Amino acid sequence: MRIGMILDKTFPPDPRVENEAISLINGGHEVFLFCLKYKSQEADKEKINNISVCRYSSNKLEYKLSALVFTLPFYTILMKKKILHFLITNKIDAIHIHDIRIAEAVNNANKKLKLPTVLDLHDNMPEIIKFYPHLQKFPGKQIISPKKWKVKEEEFINKATNVITVSEEFIEEVVGRTKIKKEKIKLVPNTVQKAFYKEAVIDNSIIKKYKDQFVILYLGDTAIRRGLLTAIDAIDELKSKINNIVLLIVGESTTDIQLEQRVKDLQLGNHVDFLGWQEVGLFPSYIQASSICISPLYRNKQHDVAYANKLFQYMSFAKPVLVSDATAQKKLIKRTKSGLVHRERDVNDFTNKVLELYNNKELRNELGNNGKSFIENEFCWERVSQNLMDIYDELSVHK
Instruction: Let me know: does 319 contact 293? Beta carbons within 8 Å.
Output: yes
Helix (H, G, I), strand (E, B) or coil at 94: strand
The per-residue pLDDT for 306 is 83
Q: Rounded CA gap, 179 and 77, in Å?
A: 30
Rounded to an integer, the average pLDDT of 138-149 is 78
Region for 52 from its dihedrals, namely left if φ exceeds 0, alpha if ψ lies in -120 to 50, beta otherwise = beta
Reading phi first (left if > 0) and then psi (alpha if -120 to 50, else beta), residue 28 is in left
Contacts for 345-352 with beta carbons within 8 Å, 24 or more apart?
345/227, 345/230, 345/298, 346/230, 347/230, 347/233, 347/234, 347/237, 348/237, 350/230, 350/231, 350/234, 350/296, 350/322, 351/234, 351/237, 351/238
Asked if pLDDT for residue 214 goes beyond 70, the answer is yes
Band (pLDDT 50/70/90 cuts) for residue 4 is very high
DSSP code per residue over 314-351: HHHTT--EEEE--HHHHHHHHHHT-EEEE-TT-HHHHH
Average pLDDT over residues 207-218: 97
Amino acid code (one letter) for 233: D
DSSP one-letter code for 298: P
Residue 135 has pLDDT above 70, yes or no: no
Give the residue-averaged pLDDT of 276-294.
Answer: 96
Residue 75's contacts (CB-CB under 8 Å, 6 or more residues apart) are 62, 65, 66, 68, 69, 105
Residue 140 has pLDDT above 70, yes or no: no
DSSP 192-238: --HHHHHS----HHHHHHHTTSEEEEEES---GGG-HHHHHHHHHHH
Q: For 349-374, what is each residue's pLDDT tens digit?
A: 999 999 999 999 999 999 999 999 99
Which pLDDT score, from 0 to 100, does residue 59 have? 94
Distance CA 178, CA 124 (A): 13
- Residues 36 and 54: their CA atoms lie apart, in Å, by 8
Q: What is the pLDDT of residues 237-263, one digit of tens each?
A: 999 999 999 999 999 998 999 999 999
The one-letter code for the residue type at 345 is: R
Give the SS3 label for residue 360.
coil
For all residues of the chain together, what is the average pLDDT?
A: 94
Q: Which residues lie closer than 8 Å to 175 by C-beta, 6 or more apart?
A: 182, 185
Residue type present at position 373: S
Helices (H), the chain: 15-26, 60-66, 74-89, 103-109, 125-128, 140-143, 146-159, 168-178, 194-198, 204-210, 228-238, 256-265, 283-288, 309-316, 327-336, 347-358, 361-374, 381-384, 386-397
What is the per-residue pLDDT across 95-108, written as a single tens digit (0 to 9) for each? 999 989 999 999 99
Q: pLDDT of 26-36, one tens digit each?
A: 999 999 999 99
Determine the pLDDT at residue 146: 80
- Provide the residue count of the chain: 399
| Chain centre to alpha carbon of residue 328 | 14
Q: How many angstroms separate the most distant Cα atoms in the chain?
A: 67
First to last CA, the chain: 8
Average pLDDT over residues 55-60: 95
**Domains of the chain: residue spans and CATH:** 2-191+381-397 (3.40.50.2000), 194-379 (3.40.50.2000)
- pLDDT: which is higher, 204 or 131: 204
- Mean pLDDT along residues 6-30: 94
Low-confidence winner among 3-7, 127-131, 136-140, 389-393 (lowest mean pLDDT): 136-140
Instruction: With cut-offs at 50, 70 and 90, classify the pLDDT of residue 307.
Output: confident
Residue 95, Cα to own-chain centre: how many angstroms?
21
